[in-house]
Chains A and B, each alone.
Chain A
Amino acid sequence: MKHRFLPTGLAGVLSCFAVFFQAVAQTPPAGSYSSSALLSTRLKTLTSRYGALTNLQSIGKSREGKDVWLLTVGRGAAAQKPAIAIVAGVQGAHLAGTELAVQLAEKLLAASGQDSVARLLDSKTFYIFPSVNPDAQEQFVAKPRFERTGNGADTDDDRDGRLNEDLFEDLNKDGLITQIRVEDPTGTFISSKDDPRVLVKADPAKSETGRYLVISEGTDNDKDGAFNEDGAGGVALDKNFTFDYPFFTPGSGEMPVSEPENRALLDFLYKAPNVYAVFTFGPYNNLSEAPKFDRTKTARRIITGILEKDAPVGDQVSKLYNSQTALKDAPPMPPTKGNFAQTAYYHYGRFSFSTPGWWTPKSPASADTTKGKAAAKPSDNDDVKFLKWADANNVREVFVNWQPIEHPDFPGRKAEVGGMAPFAKLNPPVSFLNEIADKHLKFMTAFVRQMPVIDVVNLRTESLSGGLTRVTAQVINRGLLPTGSEIGDRVRFVPKMKVELRTGNGQAVVSGRKRILRSPMAAGESMEVTFLVSGTGRATLEAGNAMTGLKSIDITLK
């Protein structure tokens, strides 16, 4: 699928959007998401405007040759400071995450003049990967638009030896790939009672019998009985990571981390010891409600549940998220197999948080209780809820009303095309994200302020006879979060908490380990260290690691 489509007349729309974000020169048109070209432009605009605080680099190319961008935000040597990684657009259909990540950067930089933000940018690094799967996201502006999760790899999705032999067809020529319903006695779908536009499975327990067959919009090009089962759009990157990898399922690729985009991301992260935590914008939510500790999942050889000491940290951050964003009523969005956010925790060993950022807000309860009507029970169907919200908020073009068509595979039968517009459910009009981005910025900065702070206190030097000095001190984590995750303590590529006495010329540590490597320190935890040192002059006691930052104090040996 090589169709390209760039929105025309961008400039005009841009200028009116700039009213919302005065700090930013170029922003996307309201109601639309950025093409990869526009995303690049926005990022470059930021770096030219905030040269001292940003660095833009391409960490690799997608299968289709698009840049996978990393925007580094912060002042000074980025690699030398504790960092958080903000990763978006791994799940290609989630455009809102990319938009939020970019807006987060824009808003953070716009506020860089404020003292508190400046201090944050001085002491921490923000690694922002706004779009890890640009190939898939480009399908939003390409024709026909379909909800794509795969990158540009050629994949034989139905594993029949033929490549891309059954693509979608835009049968009603509206530029969107939606669905087809065909009236058929073997169909298992019926119209929802709550919203007749929505199709639901017939429930025999409620004496319902099916009326419609439902397929994707297209024809069975290869006449194998399956519709559009092998189209363009290769490996779904959010199924291609190492944790709980779903082998041989459509979109998961031939093996984990088979793609240049996720290799590039992991190569960067694994070689960045300063990353303390990872935030993902994507359709998995462990922030609204933190995962619970479950011993049965951690006692086995392969660990599949959050570790005991990490669970309360998850709780703490979840509370912070809910209080700072004031976002409520999140639907459960469990992780999918092989996703990035779980890999970031279980394998990369960092605290890893994920949120879609936006979800269908709860509609107010029906006020129509006149004439003695009982309040209608709100539907628990996601589509119904979404459409209700869209109607109430005047959000248009989210649903294609069913319209009859002649379907060549069902001659003489009643077939209709229609259904949810691609990308619509996960991605509200961009104008809805401004406030969401503000809330997430508030949360992220609050999180960063809770990160560990290493201090060395209560230093005592006792001169003993014979040129010996006993050095005693306490190392403390004054932050509100631990110096690292419990899982990270098992991961070889996560730096250990380190305390080291750096001796000068003619000095030697006579008793005590010169360099202590230890497991993470909880918030408020302290440890006493003691060294017996021979020699005189200046020595340095240093504590911390790349994730926490280093604290060093000078000691004078008499």
Chain B
Amino acid sequence: MKKIFFLFLATLPFFVFAQQKPAQNDDLTGLRAVGSPANPKVPMRWNHYNDYAGIMKFCQDMAKAHPNLVKLESMGKTFQGRDLWVLVVSDFKTGNADRKPGFYIDGNIHSNELQGSEIAMYTAWYLAENFGTIEFTTQLLKDKVFYIAPSINLDAREDFIKNPNNPNSPRSGLMPFDDDGDGEIDEDKYDDLDGDGNIVLMRRKTPLGRMKQDPNDPTRMIPAKADEPGEYELLGYEGIDNDGDGQVNEDVAGRYDPNRDWGWGWQPDYIQGGALFYPGTLPETQAIKKYIIGHPNIAGAQSYHNYGGMMLRGPGAEEDQQYYNPSDIAVYDVIGRTGEKIIPGYNYYVIYKDLYTVYGGEIDWLALGRGVFTFSNELMSSYLLFRQKPGESNRFQNDEFNQFGKYLLFDDAYVAWKPFKHPQYGDIEIGGPKKNYIRNHPGFMLEEDAHRNMSFTLFHAHQTPKLDVQAITTKPLGNGLTEVTATIVNQRVIPTHSSHDIRFKIERPDYITLKGATPLAAMIVENADLNITKEQKTNPATIEVPNIPGMGYVKVRWIVKGSGGKYTVSVDSRKGGVVEKTL
């Protein structure tokens, strides 16, 4: 009997659901899997990487298919003139989207780190396609607005996809520079010697070399043991000495880092490799900066990179540790630690401590320059291959990519070694990992990691402030005066102002306005029980509070003439949105 009762309970929601939403699965030849849109208006396969045309088409299709949920904007132009598309995703029929707490997402600032774009696109797609189906995301679009820029380095992404490259090139953008100081620009690029679209490695068989072929896996080169002779030497990536200066591939397209071009803690190239003239040398940085400053409602942000399986927070440099104080770190900890559960194998890390020093990075500018709680995810990790952490059973082997390539990708991931006659090096062989392997997800893994990373980001977005006027109470004071007290709560973890923001007054205070009466005096209630208050001497109608803390509240009080009025309290917070309640 008990069992049957539980069974009934467990199935009850489905009955209710089925009655409310009939015919959900009509277009499917089967059953909708939980958590995925059954018949999306914009059909997408999440197992490949999109070029500029693909991204643009997706953006346009989304805006067309979901006119009440998705709007397409351009933040500006790239160096080569492409549009920096941003999808604005919100329930535009509920509230004023411009005033909702905003969440900014971008990907692909490093052009070889492709999949951030697909994850950003997946997020926009998932939110819009599930609107009305999944209660949580539906409510999220009522409460929030998302600004999703799939790629902020479109010129070099196009180069990476369309032109011969290796997994690491280009990380830069494509603004031409003289990399080797000889007065010539981009004069010695990589050369696709065999014309297969991949820039792979060059090796030469020689008894002078200290490398050898892995006896277990011919795709792999390993160092010869200390006491045994080597067979090969490695000669770097495919290329020739195009300008005859005795160096190979020393001035390729782009040698700068768009993620060292931002206006917090910026340092020049000799301190921070990859920096340009000043923060914002690149047109892309300028456009994004302008867009973000133009949307002061952005309360959280996420940037997608690869590689390594990390959820990173700032600071990028040890010098800036002082600007992350305990109350802000506590917020990051809540989100980061939840992330470690949501994305197995990903670690919640601090950039300068656990990765390396970054001066002038994008997320430092967002976090410390704008006061926005920001994470940067390093997508893809070797853990995902066999769900083993390095150092468990495969210690010192470090061959999981080769093994994975063999057993799960059926040798599609590597260019097998083949002979080539090199103009400078003579008889060599070329081979190695293809440009779309190692750092970028294999196709079948992309959707899962997109979903997990999106879930982490949605958790973060969900924690941006949600304000409510919880209570308005009145108390007669005699002499025809009434005391009106309002309690404003923030139902989420993220405060309306980070404590760094409060310290440097980055964003204006939150405004709490009493309408329907003429206040004679206004005050912030510091302790309601002991009646400790702090008066605001000017403009009593609108009380300014420096912050509405996460999972916390502020109490404000007015003394008004008369009694029994119809009091309305409205809250206007840049990052917390606008709410209003009438007593």
With A160-B508, A257-B278 as known contacts, state yes or no: A302 contacts B269, CB within 8 Å: no
Q: In the A-B complex, list the 8 residue pairs whose CB atoms are closest, starting with the nearest.
A: A161-B508, A255-B263, A490-B270, A159-B505, A257-B278, A248-B504, A223-B538, A270-B277
Q: Which of A159, A242, A491 contacts B506 (CB 8 A)?
A: A159
How many CB-defined contacts (below 8 Å) exist between A and B?
A: 89
Among residues of A, the one whose C-beta sits closest to the C-beta of B245 is A515
CA–CA, A95 and B410, complex, Å: 73
Complex contacts, A302 vs chain B, CB 8 Å = 267, 271, 319
Least CB distance from A491 to B in Å reads 6
With A255-B263, A256-B263 as known contacts, state yes or no: A248 contacts B506, CB within 8 Å: yes
From A24-32, A320-328, A493-501, the one touching the partner chain is: A493-501
* Contact of B562 with A by CB under 8 A: no
Contact call A222/B279, Cβ cutoff below 8 A: no
Complex contacts, B365 vs chain A, CB 8 Å = 255
* Contact of A2 with B by CB under 8 A: no
* Contact of A346 with B by CB under 8 A: yes
Most chain A Cβ neighbours within 10 Å, of B182, B537, B539: B182
Complex contacts, A247 vs chain B, CB 8 Å = 264, 369, 504
Least CB distance from B268 to A in Å reads 5
| A252-278 contact mask (Cβ, 8 Å, vs B): 1 or 0 | 001111100001001100100000000
* Contact of A517 with B by CB under 8 A: yes
* Contact of A301 with B by CB under 8 A: yes
Least CB distance from A306 to B in Å reads 15
Q: Which of A227-254 contact B (CB under 8 A)?
A: 241-242, 245, 247-248, 254
Contact call A266/B277, Cβ cutoff below 8 A: yes
Complex contacts, B269 vs chain A, CB 8 Å = 491-493
Complex contacts, A263 vs chain B, CB 8 Å = 278, 280
CA–CA, A182 and B196, complex, Å: 82
Contact call B278/A498, Cβ cutoff below 8 A: no
A interface SS class: loop
Least CB distance from B264 to A in Å reads 7
Complex contacts, A162 vs chain B, CB 8 Å = 508
Complex contacts, B268 vs chain A, CB 8 Å = 242, 346-347, 491
Complex contacts, B319 vs chain A, CB 8 Å = 302
With A160-B508, A248-B504, A491-B269 as known contacts, state yes or no: A498 contacts B182, CB within 8 Å: yes
What would 13 more interface pairs be, CB under 8 Å, given A258-B263, A492-B270?
A161-B508, A162-B508, A223-B538, A223-B539, A241-B278, A247-B504, A254-B293, A254-B369, A255-B264, A256-B263, A266-B278, A267-B277, A492-B181
Q: Which of B270, B507, B537, B539 contacts A491 (CB 8 A)?
A: B270
| B507-550 contact mask (Cβ, 8 Å, vs A): 1 or 0 | 11100000000000000000000000000011100001000000
| A308-349 contact mask (Cβ, 8 Å, vs B): 1 or 0 | 000000000000000000000000000000000000001100
Q: Which of A224, A256, A346, A513 contacts B278 (CB 8 A)?
A: A256
Please name 29 pairs of A and B residues whose Cβ atoms are closer than 8 Å in the assembled complex, sorted by A.
A159-B506, A161-B507, A161-B508, A161-B509, A222-B538, A223-B538, A242-B266, A242-B268, A242-B279, A247-B264, A247-B504, A254-B293, A255-B264, A255-B365, A255-B369, A256-B263, A256-B279, A258-B280, A270-B277, A302-B267, A302-B319, A491-B268, A491-B269, A492-B269, A495-B183, A498-B183, A514-B246, A517-B181, A546-B183
Q: Chain A residues in contact with chain B, CB under 8 A?
A: 156, 158-162, 222-224, 241-242, 245, 247-248, 254-258, 263, 266-267, 270, 301-303, 346-347, 490-493, 495-496, 498, 513-515, 517, 546
Q: How large is the interface on B (under 10, 10 to 19, 20 to 34, 35 or more residues)?
A: 20 to 34
Q: Which of B183, B263, B505 contacts A160 (CB 8 A)?
A: B505
Contact call B182/A160, Cβ cutoff below 8 A: no
Most chain A Cβ neighbours within 10 Å, of B266, B369, B506, B544: B266
CA–CA, A517 and B279, complex, Å: 28
CA–CA, A493 and B267, complex, Å: 14
Complex contacts, A256 vs chain B, CB 8 Å = 263, 266, 278-279
Least CB distance from A130 to B in Å reads 22
Contact call A224/B369, Cβ cutoff below 8 A: no
CA–CA, A346 and B278, complex, Å: 12
* Contact of B195 with A by CB under 8 A: no
CA–CA, A346 and B505, complex, Å: 30
CA–CA, A347 and B266, complex, Å: 11
CA–CA, A152 and B507, complex, Å: 21
Least CB distance from A499 to B in Å reads 12
| B245-276 contact mask (Cβ, 8 Å, vs A): 1 or 0 | 11000000000000000011011111100000
Q: Which of A258, A493, A517 contacts B277 (CB 8 A)?
A: A493
Least CB distance from B294 to A in Å reads 12
| B175-210 contact mask (Cβ, 8 Å, vs A): 1 or 0 | 000001111000000000000000000000000000
